Structure 1
Amino acid sequence: MLEGKKEDDKSQSDTRPSWQRGTVPSEADDSDDIDWDAPPPYEQYFGNDQRNVSTTLEDNGRISMFFGGAGGRYPSLPPLPVYDPRVEQVRSSAAQSYPLLNIVLQVVGSRGDVQPFIALGQELELVGHRVRIATHNVFEQFVQDSGLEFFPIGGDPTELMAYMVKNPGIIPKFATIRAGDISKKRKMISEMLKGCWRSCIDPDPSTGAPFVAEAIIANPPSFAHMHCAQAMGIPVHLMFTMPWTATRAFPHPLANVQLADTDPKTTNFLSYGLVDMMTWQGLGDVVNHWRKNTLNLEPLPAMVGANLANYLKVPFTYCWSSALIPKPFNWPSHIDVCGFFFRNAPDYNPFPELDQFLRAGPPPIYIGFGSIVMEDPHQMTRIILDAVRICGVRAIVSKGWSKLGSGVEHHEDVLFIGDCPHEWLFKHVSAVIHHGGAGTTACGLLNGRPTAIVPFFGDQPFWANMVFSAGAGPRPLDGKTLDASTLATAIETLLHPSTIQAANRISDRMRNESGIKSAVRSFHRNLPIREMHCDMVPRQPATWCWKKGKRTLKLSHRAASILVEHKKIEASSLEIYRPKPISIENRRWDPITATTSAFLDGVVDVGSAFGNLVESPIKEYRKVKSMERENSNLSSLSHSDSSTLSIRSGKTGMTGSSVIGQSAAGAAGKAVGRGFEKVGMAVTKGVIDLPRAVADGLHNVPALYGEEVRDYGEIRGWKSGGKVGVKSMGYGFYDGYVGFFTQPYKGARDGGAFGLVKGIFKGCAGLLTQPGHAIFGVVAYPALGLYRSLNTAHVTGAQGEILIAQKEYGIFLAETDRMDKGEVERVMKDFDEMWLAVREV
């Protein structure tokens, strides 16, 4: 996942917020209740009498998964999707009229991760969108040189790289915990989450031009994407070079699956859920803390948080060539494989030493490990030199972040070089050996170069195995056991005619692909285009909504500005429009587990609120007292200084220490008030959640034996809560009593005597559970809607920031985007006609 070269650009100024400086949060901020040093689980066991599944961390950082028990029963795989070409035609035709959007590309990783998104951003700008790339501060110059907007999210890719090399998988080693690296990495992720959120609503740091994201494209490791999209109600689209979606075809790249008389397709599929769960257990508390305190969103339970992309059916575009890995059959239509992202080859003139070396003999092999930070680069240098000598070949070695070749004097057959564009260099070599970054792998195969990979972490083992399976290179090389003999054998395999032919076959197919253009088409196909368009101005995205009676108008900034300016509507009547509202509910599977989990969640929430009620005032008192003592430096103040302080405080006769004490006491008092408010909300939520959990659990009982359950819609406020309550009341009794008679008939019709028995069981179960669901639901759902209406967090905090950002952006557009007279007249005419039609109805 992480590859590329180190950038020299650092943070612009120490006066910037911590999330812009790339620093970690202090211990005094609102994250004190997070245990930053808490390690993720090193071993998990999921077992019962029928199945035995365990996961263990291996020495190389990957997750070993054991699926044991001959004949063990595992959850049945979901059915394969049925491909309907009509769906694809509708999606493709709708995508032709996409609105012109503000798009933020959120990318976490190294230069090699950022570079494909720069190419994507340039293509998106070419088709009319405004694009901002939000990534680490050190890539500011790299992004801006490409002509795109840049926004810093913090985080240091060099530190991330060093951490990943020491801990190749998703779970760290004990030595890393002892060194304190866990805390540092978790705090860095917390800062990047905050930076990603600011990238959606903050002005451009360089120009000050306002910006509000209308769509998000991200790579999964940026983590913030779906949560930011939920807060803003906008579309999100994930793009990645590594499989992140469950498939039968191959296991998760970070999983080492050990089979024990178990169907490989089943274990491949399950490996994705297990990796997601262990990842969430390592970072879920950090993400939930950020959701709650920054975005004003409810924390996610583990089963939802770990499976969120699949739960929300987030569109996914995988950036690899189908010539190397075809799209698995079980991936639905909102998941695409589009091809590798290649930027236009930069103009490059080789420096004299490189030019002379290439002309001095047959094409050399390339060896380089990019941004990998090795523990012993001198040993790797010796291995390379010995292997080259054994094979009698010439080599160009990239020094990379490990600075290979340091201390080596002139070598006749080996040239050590610094940064050089792979797009140019790989045209002049015979084969390539590298760490297996997706971009480097793609560039080598595009040029028909046989490829040997020494994987270190992330998706690198995956690409090493895919290249080997395609016949374009040797088996993956283990960097820890690599020696000159092993590397020499790999070089001989690379230069074998059959390996060269396989690489050329892949190259021929890749040259007919256009990954970036296909990715842009994939993005447009998956947009909710009808919901995003302004009703008045073509191709403008809707930002505001105006309601009159039963009619709702979706208005862009431009349309709203025209109508307000000409007094057709009042500005106060406009509301923020959410084209892609995201609802995340904790799915309840049965009444027993639902009630238990709701009760435990309520106890934890109330306990946490009471704990905060006790701790928060003390923290606030100490913080204010400490800060004011430091600022005023009372120990060195004279009597006159103290008098001045008294006058400025507006309280004559009071000493500086009295002012400080009163100020600290006031802060503590406010904290007590906030604490009681949190306790009240936690108790209210707990009282509501318990009957709601019972209602949900009873409602979903038919799903346990394969029946579909009704979807009553999302509860956003008291109106929708009341509607859902009425539906649950009516359908609950109806489904329960009608099903008692119809289920036995259906069972006998479809399954004979055995089906009759099953139908009787289903009918009795429905008769027992669905009326109960109706009774609990008619109370719980309206109460939940009322709670969400009264909970004002959604109109302040993050939602307040969105409102302010939209207003500033609207003012900016009004000042810079000049509208012609014809457009103004057309908007007012269309509005008058629409309003006339509404009044006639």
Structure 2
Amino acid sequence: MGLLSNLEADEGKETESTAPPPYSLVGNNELAESGTVQENGRININLDSKVARTLAKIIDLQQEDIHNPPPDYIDNLQHFTTCDLKLNIVIQIVGSRGDVQPFIALGNALQKHGHRVRIATHDVFANFVRDARLEFYPIGGDPAELMAYMVKNPGLIPQMKTLREGEVQRKQAMVAKMLDGCWRSCIQDDPLTQEPFVADAIIANPPSFAHVHCAQALGIPVHLMFTMPWSSTKAFPHPLANMNSSSMNPRTANWVTYGVVEWLTWQGLGDVINQWRISIDLEPIAATVGPSLPEALQIPHTYCWSPALVPKPTDWPAHIDVCGFFFRDPPSYSPPSELSEFLQAGPPPVYIGFGSIVVENPQKLIDTVVIAVVRSRVRAIISKGWSGLVGAPNPNIYYIDDCPHEWLFQHVAAVVHHGGAGTTACGLRNGKPTAIVPFFGDQPFWGNMIFRAGAGPSPIPYASLNFQRLTAAIQFCLTPEAREAAHRISLKMKNEAGVDAAVESFHRNLPIDRMRCDLIPNQVASWKYKKSAFSLSLSKKAAQILIENHKITKGHLELHHANPIVIENRRWDPISGMISAATTTGSIMLHSTADMVYNPYKEFKDGRTPRLPNKDLDAGPSTRNAPSHVYSTTPAKDMDISSPSESSGLQGKNGLLVAGSMLGATMKGFGKFTGSYFKGVVVDIPHAAAEGFRQVPRIYGETPKDYGTIQDWKSGAIFGGKNFVDGMTDGFTGIITQPMNGAKEEGALGAVKGFAKGTIGLATKVPSAGIGLVAYPFQGITKSIEAAFRSNTRKAIVNAQLKSGCYEAERLPMSAERRDEVLQSFSFLSTSHT
């Protein structure tokens, strides 16, 4: 079962109502109007809202061939990509056991290719992972508690009831801990063996949320894999969305639902993610960039379902694959004698089960099921599940405890269940017609997909379940048409190898050439050696050999980024760009003003309260092995236990210390205030204006020239210089060249259009050139200064790479002949360059 489809709905654990925390449900009224969260965790999308209409205009500008037929079934990837590199791969998973299980199969398959695989997930799955002979790293978080919350509040989008209960801050704190755990899983030693580990690539499911950001900090590839669609398409709506009736084109409406869900999700997670990004020395992401970030960066996706059930939409690009369900090797199972006798006593029964779903009234549910079974005149195996579904004794009904579906589904006529992805896959693989009774999350999506394929009836939402509807659903599953449709899907699925196809998709999307060491081509490059204009990509072993033989020094090494990720806040025009930059600056200044008042008061309050030493509080389990920049311990002076007379007020030395702390807090807030003001006025707002002017020609189809990414003062100066020369030249010459080119193509009308383009170009390119001559270099200088102060994460990565290199050199020493080859290759390449 998936993250949003495996929940114990525990209504008996309500917390006492508290005052709503200082949390904003959405950023503005328009966003609030775009969608509302239901009790079952799904989102009602208002297609007539301003946000939805704006998104619709974007998609309508793209050409769409309405005559395209639905995509045909496409078998698994037939070509194979060679990957001779042995990678350290961390797989980050947030969710239930059902979310982790497919990645166990994937991890074992990756091991067969020689990769070292670490599963980073919740602590409770440690034995589950290690029993599969995979490395495990704990990221914290309670999956049951998290899923219970996310079913009610997808993406941490809180309902008002949840706000009153005060759950939001507690769950955001849990997510923050998991984000940090995911980061540590990329660079920290194995918790059991202490074996060093630095990730060369990341695989993750989207709800882990840390994936792209960890990859950006490390400069490594990232690949997302999931059991339900998370990429915008016009083929079907977002699996968590309900659409209202609207005049909007249905295919456009499908696409819009993904944007609305992403925007709502960012409202719940944006602040948490940005605070965590700052802790690992990354810049915060603007609210206009955060939603759909993986899509904008074209991060590779692999979806783990059968294309026989849901073909790959035609509007998904090449870096998105549909590979097939991930099936584990069937476990060995010997049925009890009672079950064997029941199966042999009559025709194949119907399986009915709802897994880990816990309902408020199990007696009502089992009564409904039993009546439907009797009225359908079938035999049935009913899974007790977490709700403990047991009815009155009946010779045609067998109540079963845990039993592997892989075995059981071979012996039934049809399956009725809640719609978890894993259970759905198992039933269809065995060719069984399927009826879905969805409770929440993605379960309605799978029910609709089965209905569309003809392998089952339309899904029956649990809220509207009764014995009449369930009876009709069972009878539908026993029709020849349903059996034939399920059989067709089964035949296709049996020829699929979902795990192998996913490994192929992962390998195919790796930037292999950029990851390869120049001296030892079958090893991953971790370092970049630079001296003057000469540079080499070096593996940890290659660098270690060169250092030991005094060919290079550590000072000539810098971290190698095989897959640099650049997240830019694109400006579309100067007005909106300047307003956005000014708003951000004002927000920081306002926050700084609050700090100047609150932080001194906090220091005063802390100074009046004696602190007792508590090792468990100050250095708990979550801080072990954590990088120093993530966690801070209490200073020794604060650990002093003062006498009652000293702690009762601001007296003597203690009073002076508190007063000094208050003054320091005030000055820190003032420094942040003035710093944000000058940065906004001198750097951010001019840069937004220059970039906004530079982007305006996109209106008439002209793509601005690419001058690279501004990363430091040097690249900023180059960017500003090139933009100035080209902007001035193109701006003034365009008045002549644009009408002439237009006249050649379209005659007099083209000349008029060209004159308009030339006028717009003059009005935008020249200002961009002038403002940018100062703004872009200052932007580069700012990044250089920030990089100098934000060095803790870089140092942590460098130390982890050096430690890992020493460990590999000791564990797998290289022969003398091979070491000589490395030294000779280095001498040859360095000599050839000079």
TM, length-normalised to structure 1: 0.87
Change (3 A) 1:623 1:396: farther
Matched, 1:228 2:214: yes
**CA offsets 1:602-643 (integer angstroms, 9 cap, x no match):** 1112222333344334435544764635669xxxxxxxxxxx
Superposed, 1:237-316 pairs within 5 Å as 237-292=223-278, 294-316=279-301
Q: In the alignment, which residue of structure 2 is the partner of 1:190?
A: 176
For the residues of structure 2 that align with 1:522 and 1:343, how far apart are their CA atoms?
19
Match of 2:517 among 510, 530, 534: 534
Structure 1 stretches of 5 or more lacking a match? 8-34, 48-52, 83-90, 633-644
Change (3 A) 1:253 1:650: closer
Change (3 A) 1:63 1:655: closer
For the residues of structure 2 that align with 1:242 and 1:650, how far apart are their CA atoms?
55
Change (3 A) 1:252 1:524: same
Superposed, 1:98-497 pairs within 5 Å as 98-166=84-152, 171-292=157-278, 294-405=279-390, 408=391, 410-497=393-480
How far the C-alpha of 1:170 sits from its partner, in A, is 6.9
Q: In the alignment, which residue of structure 2 is the partner of 1:817?
A: 812
For the residues of structure 1 that align with 2:53 and 2:804, how far apart are their CA atoms?
61
Q: Secondary structure of the equivalent of 2:192?
A: coil
Change (3 A) 1:673 1:39: closer
Q: Secondary structure of the equivalent of 2:141?
A: coil
For the residues of structure 1 that align with 2:673 and 2:771, how far apart are their CA atoms?
25
Q: Secondary structure of the equivalent of 1:835?
A: helix
Change (3 A) 1:681 1:296: farther
How far the C-alpha of 1:344 sits from its partner, in A, is 1.2
Q: In the alignment, which residue of structure 1 is the partner of 2:750?
A: 755
**CA offsets 1:728-779 (integer angstroms, 9 cap, x no match):** 1111112212222222223333334333222211110101110110011111
How far the C-alpha of 1:253 sits from its partner, in A, is 1.6
Q: Secondary structure of the equivalent of 2:495?
A: coil
Superposed, 1:337-736 pairs within 5 Å as 337-405=322-390, 408=391, 410-620=393-603, 622-623=605-606, 626=609, 628=611, 661=655, 664=658, 671=665, 674-675=668-669, 678-679=672-673, 681-686=675-680, 687-736=682-731
Q: Secondary structure of the equivalent of 2:224?
A: strand
Q: In the alignment, which residue of structure 1 is the partner of 2:759?
A: 764
Change (3 A) 1:247 1:44: farther
8 Å contact from structure 2 (residues 6, 147) kept in 1: no
How far the C-alpha of 1:135 sits from its partner, in A, is 1.1
**CA offsets 1:237-277 (integer angstroms, 9 cap, x no match):** 11112111111211222222234332222222222111111
Name the aligned partner's letter for residue 781 of structure 2.
Answer: L
For the residues of structure 1 that align with 2:337 and 2:658, how far apart are their CA atoms?
68
8 Å contact from structure 2 (residues 4, 441) kept in 1: no
How far the C-alpha of 1:309 sits from its partner, in A, is 1.1
Q: Secondary structure of the equivalent of 1:67?
A: coil
8 Å contact from structure 1 (residues 95, 527) kept in 2: no
Match of 1:78 among 33, 58, 62: 62
For the residues of structure 2 that align with 1:680 and 1:576, how far apart are their CA atoms?
34
How far the C-alpha of 1:665 sits from its partner, in A, is 5.4
Name the aligned partner's letter for residue 427 of structure 1.
Answer: Q
8 Å contact from structure 1 (residues 366, 431) kept in 2: yes
Change (3 A) 1:209 1:263: same
Q: In the alignment, which residue of structure 2 is the partner of 1:636?
A: none
8 Å contact from structure 2 (residues 226, 303) kept in 1: yes
Name the aligned partner's letter for residue 308 of structure 1.
Answer: L
For the residues of structure 1 that align with 2:199 and 2:78, how far apart are their CA atoms?
24
For the residues of structure 2 that align with 1:474 and 1:247, how far apart are their CA atoms?
25
Matched, 1:63 2:43: yes
For the residues of structure 2 that align with 1:107 and 1:709, how far apart are their CA atoms?
39
8 Å contact from structure 2 (residues 5, 441) kept in 1: no
TM, length-normalised to structure 2: 0.88
Q: In the alignment, which residue of structure 2 is the partner of 1:741?
A: 736
Name the aligned partner's letter for residue 3 of structure 2.
Answer: L
Q: In the alignment, which residue of structure 2 is the partner of 1:635?
A: none
Change (3 A) 1:160 1:67: same
For the residues of structure 2 that align with 1:277 and 1:783, how far apart are their CA atoms?
32
Q: In the alignment, which residue of structure 2 is the partner of 1:28?
A: none
8 Å contact from structure 2 (residues 351, 381) kept in 1: yes
For the residues of structure 2 that align with 1:168 and 1:613, how far apart are their CA atoms?
36
Q: How much is the aligned-residue C-alpha RMSD, in angstroms? A: 3.1
Matched, 1:2 2:8: no
How far the C-alpha of 1:417 sits from its partner, in A, is 2.8
Name the aligned partner's letter for residue 125 of structure 1.
Answer: Q
How far the C-alpha of 1:800 sits from its partner, in A, is 2.7
Q: Secondary structure of the equivalent of 2:463?
A: coil
For the residues of structure 2 that align with 1:226 and 1:188, how far apart are their CA atoms?
19
Q: In the alignment, which residue of structure 2 is the partner of 1:21?
A: none
For the residues of structure 2 that align with 1:197 and 1:130, how far apart are their CA atoms?
18
For the residues of structure 1 that align with 2:177 and 2:25, how far apart are their CA atoms?
19
Q: Secondary structure of the equivalent of 1:707?
A: coil
Identity among equivalent pairs (%): 50
Q: In the alignment, which residue of structure 2 is the partner of 1:773?
A: 768
Change (3 A) 1:428 1:766: same
Q: Secondary structure of the equivalent of 1:700?
A: helix
Q: Secondary structure of the equivalent of 2:398?
A: strand
Superposed, 1:790-809 pairs within 5 Å as 790-792=785-787, 795-809=790-804
How far the C-alpha of 1:480 sits from its partner, in A, is 0.8
Which shifted more, 412-421 or 671-680?
A: 671-680
For the residues of structure 1 that align with 2:53 and 2:442, how far apart are their CA atoms?
32
For the residues of structure 2 that align with 1:401 and 1:193, how far apart are their CA atoms?
30
How far the C-alpha of 1:171 sits from its partner, in A, is 4.3
**CA offsets 1:556-585 (integer angstroms, 9 cap, x no match):** 111111111111111232111111111111
How far the C-alpha of 1:71 sits from its partner, in A, is 12
Change (3 A) 1:68 1:606: closer
How far the C-alpha of 1:395 sits from its partner, in A, is 2.1
Q: In the alignment, which residue of structure 2 is the partner of 1:14?
A: none
Name the aligned partner's letter for residue 529 of structure 1.
Answer: I
* Count of residues in correspondence between the two structures: 781
Q: Secondary structure of the equivalent of 1:303?
A: coil
8 Å contact from structure 1 (residues 624, 664) kept in 2: yes
For the residues of structure 1 that align with 2:688 and 2:153, how far apart are their CA atoms?
40
Name the aligned partner's letter for residue 299 of structure 1.
Answer: P
8 Å contact from structure 2 (residues 600, 666) kept in 1: yes
Q: Secondary structure of the equivalent of 2:340?
A: helix
